[in-house]
Amino acid sequence: MFENTTSLRTRYAETDQMGVVYYGNYPQYFEVGRVETLRQLGVTYRNMEEDGIMLPVLKLEIKYLKSAMYDDELRIKTFLREIPNTRITFHHEIYNSAGELLTVGLVQLVFVNAETRRPMRCPQYVVDKLEPYFKEA
């Protein structure tokens, strides 16, 4: 399993009048976690796009447990629990600075050839970077 943690502070524009983070912002937080997880592996969306690969979202699941508030420092934990094939699934947990679990989610993306718009296998360079984290001890 590969795990990455990214932090961000909620902004005023992301909240309602009560200072509660609007529920529609959580997919953006998940995206921050995804992008930084891939970056930690040495892979970027930009590189994949330059290689003719797109990653549209296929599935999004969110379970809200507790509200994030204005100016909270959030920790976004992102996990890859399996080596991707034609799809890559990111599991997310969002915590506040007190360590309380606020939200859990899952985002599944599919690798797509930008020219043909057809699903494709995960690029080998992504698999190669992940394999060391999935070897049995």
Note the pLDDT tens digit of each residue in 24-76: 999 999 999 999 999 999 999 999 999 999 999 999 999 999 999 999 999 99
Provide the residue range defining the domain that includes 123.
2-134
How many CB atoms within 10 Å of residue 101?
12
By the 8 A CB rule, do 51 and 114 touch? no
What is the domain count for the chain? Answer: 1
By the 8 A CB rule, do 72 and 9 touch? yes
Q: DSSP string spanning 89-136?
A: EEEEEEE-TT--EEEEEEEEEE-EETTT--B-PPPHHHHHHHGGGGS-
pLDDT at 137: 53
* pTM (predicted TM-score): 0.94
Percent above pLDDT 90 for the chain: 98
What CATH code is carried by the domain that includes residue 26? 3.10.129.10
By the 8 A CB rule, do 122 and 84 touch? yes
pLDDT at 90: 98
Q: Which residues contact 56 (CB under 8 A, 6 or more apart)?
A: 109, 110, 112
Pairing type for strands 73-80 and 57-64 reads: unpaired
pLDDT at 135: 84
